[in-house]
Structure 1
Amino acid sequence: MVALSAVRSMEDRAAATRRIDARVVGVERILEAASAALGEQVSRPIDLGGSTRSSVLRCVTADGGTVVVKAYQDAVGFAAEVAGLPLGGGYGPRLLAVDPSFPLVVMSDLGAAPSLADVLLGESAREAREGLLTWARTYGRIAVAGAGRQDEWERSRAAHAEDGSGWRPFRDASDLAEVLPLAPPGLDGELAELVASYGRYRVFSPGDICPDNNLLTADGMRVLDFEGSGYHSAFLEAAYVRMPFATCWCVFRLPSGLAAEIEAAYRKEVIAVHPDLADDRLWETGVRLAMVTWTIHMTWVLLPRARKRDRPMHHTRTPVPSERQLLRYRWSRLLAELDRDGSGFAAGPG
């Protein structure tokens, strides 16, 4: 395993090579808007990667410090981030400034540190286990920090975006028509049961809890992305462990017993929000429903393009599964889980 200081050094050097030329179209506008929102000049941007939905820049302030500026393609992710960051319990960046007209946010800089994905792809089983347990406890504690604040989150989000529907893995069978052109009888009713489960035992979540969105800093684990923040079933979070990592590229089989240990760490925290989750039968049923939900969602996302060509789940990181490998694993893992106690869905395979 590479020492953490060496990882930081390598990331700093890599970031320096990605320094953005201010002549690039759009960057100057981002810097101007961020400076106006923050009330001081920001400059010397470094591209932190972002996504197709947003641009993320580390910028230097007038006093020589650094901040992170995130500019969005639409108001939906922006509104969720603005609403979610104050509810993060200190595990995410501090929200420093907002420009709804751009839209963009200025956040505190969590610095350069290895992500949980880096540790999982490293050589130390001990560090991987400790990282996973910290990850589970962190999201459990974020759920506790956000308890009783859903109205506050909804008001803030509504103030910055007209679309109030929020994200859902899917709504009904019509969403799945592309991958299931011949839906089996009874599928609509079973999907309705899954959709109804989204609202049970809700907890606050930053949204995208994949390993690469979590930094292992000197102050503990810190969460990078609140763009998908909101309130959803605790079971959707718990299923990330049992599957593992429902929507992520960094997916490998966990050693026997480790997944159960990590799941128990998350469950122990969220029981403080929902004491009923101490009931083993209730917990098992809920997690299995969530596994069905995530498996169908990833089939909907990946199958249309995986049919045409198999591609790696990440374009630069290795080792990594291909899309077809991931889909096969998702379904085999789900069917094994449903068969474990004879439960299942009549309209599903098997």
Structure 2
Amino acid sequence: MDSIIRAALRTASEVVGTAAAEPVVVGSSPRSVVMRCLLGDGAGSVFVKVFSKTPEGRSSFTSEAAGLSWGLGGPALLGADTEGLVVVMEDVGPAPSLAEVLVGADASVAARGLREWARELGRMAAASVGRRDEFDKLRKRYRTDGVWSGDEPWIERNGPEFLAALEADGIAVPAGLATELRRIATAGEHAYAAFTPGDPCPYNALVAPGGVRLIDFELSGYLPVFLIAAYCRSPFPSCWCVYRMPDEVLAEVERAFRTEIVGALPQLADDAVWEAGMRWATAVWTVDATAYWLRRVTAGDGPMQPERSTGPTRRQVLRYRWERAEELLVDGDYPAVRDAAGALLRQVGKRWEIPALPVYPAFA
């Protein structure tokens, strides 16, 4: 690790034209290490992010550098080195994450932070509509040997895995489910594509004095806009910091996002179009969560974040996804997915005998 940090500091110093020193590691994953470093000319500090030389690390470097260099949001990119897989970016300063605010005690601060988060996510998406070619050019500029994760057919792949998970747990497969899963993978909602940082979870949103700043663009790219908006309706479908939210707060957050994106895609002002797309997104994320988690939690439960011994458990969050599917898939678009979620609730969720997913502490 020390040799990696030293090499990253040398590269960062070359990128910014002055010495970067006194690194403090502020985050790490198998893909990357993030450090706050002081600049030798007294000009303050920067974030230096060095990526692993694995395929996942190379892909994450490309996405981070391309996403930040576009300037639609996130910290300002100061430089990137494709050989060392190092990104140097603006230090956005000390600020609590939205996750910290949501598990705090101030409901008004939490609600305001959520609205600002949704507006920023929506503003970024709206600014990207019709500009996919620009982003692809940026990706080519920072391309290494990695394969972008966004190219993976994850929605299509989840269908067979969802069916296999049901069968492994002894759940009768509802009639027509295989056909619905194929339709989900080819639905027309794919046409409404927009840019996302890729992991817009509350721990990747800093509640700064000037407004929420989104960070971590390692998975940045284009997605159907409804898959992004679903983070507002059934909060944070790919995240670990998941609790319930009051219905009125969810409605405000979704409205904040939708107001921004409608400016670029006015057809989404039509409630029928919007609701159909959101039902599709609910089905996609329900299938995704079940395909990934069901067999992993069969033997036992545990916290969503292994490093944290408190907070919601995996079974609680997975059961909540099934509950939301039953609540939201009510207009007949995906009856087999809804039936599957109901069967999972009655046959698996009830068997677990776990408390309901709690409300975010800030709203409790």
Pairwise TM-score range, normalised by the shorter structure: 0.7 to 0.9
2:155 is the counterpart of 1:170: yes
2:129 is the counterpart of 1:147: yes
Q: Which residue of 1 aligns with 2:327?
A: 336
Aligned pairs (5 A) from 1:65-214: 65-73=44-52, 74-89=57-72, 91-159=73-141, 160-161=143-144, 163=147, 166-167=151-152, 169-172=154-157, 173-176=159-162, 179-181=165-167, 186-197=176-187, 199-214=190-205
Q: Do the aligned residues in 2 keep the contact of 1:88 with 1:142 (CA within 8 Å)?
A: no
Q: Do the aligned residues in 1 keep the contact of 2:78 with 2:88 (CA within 8 Å)?
A: yes
Output the TM-score relative to the length of structure 1: 0.86
Corresponding residue SS for 1:236: helix
Q: Do the aligned residues in 2 keep the contact of 1:93 with 1:110 (CA within 8 Å)?
A: yes
For residues 33-69 of structure 1, the C-alpha deviation after alignment (integer angstroms, 9 at most, x for no partner) is 2222333221111111132221111111111321111
Q: Do the aligned residues in 1 keep the contact of 2:279 with 2:333 (CA within 8 Å)?
A: no
Corresponding residue SS for 2:151: coil
Q: Do the aligned residues in 2 keep the contact of 1:169 with 1:293 (CA within 8 Å)?
A: no
Aligned pairs (5 A) from 1:24-103: 24-64=2-42, 65-73=44-52, 74-89=57-72, 91-103=73-85
Unaligned runs of 5+ in 1: 1-22
Corresponding residue SS for 2:125: helix
Identity %: 41
1:278 pairs, out of 260, 269, 284, with: 269
Distance 2:255 2:129 in 1: 20
Distance 1:139 1:290 in 2: 17
Q: Give the stretch that moved more between structures: 259-268 or 306-315.
A: 306-315
2:260 pairs, out of 258, 261, 269, with: 269
Q: Which residue of 1 aligns with 2:358?
A: none
Distance 1:158 1:220 in 2: 31
Distance 1:181 1:102 in 2: 46
1:293 pairs, out of 280, 284, 306, with: 284
Output the TM-score relative to the length of structure 2: 0.83
Unaligned runs of 5+ in 2: 343-364
Residue 168 of structure 1 and its aligned partner are, at CA, apart by 5.1
CA 1:346 to 1:184, structure 2 compared with 1: closer, same or farther past 3 Å? closer
Distance 1:121 1:169 in 2: 31
Distance 2:126 2:276 in 1: 22
Alignment size in residue pairs: 326
Q: Which residue of 2 aligns with 1:227?
A: 218
Q: Name the structure, 1 or 2, with higher relative contact order (CA <8 Å, separation 6+).
A: 2
Corresponding residue SS for 1:141: helix
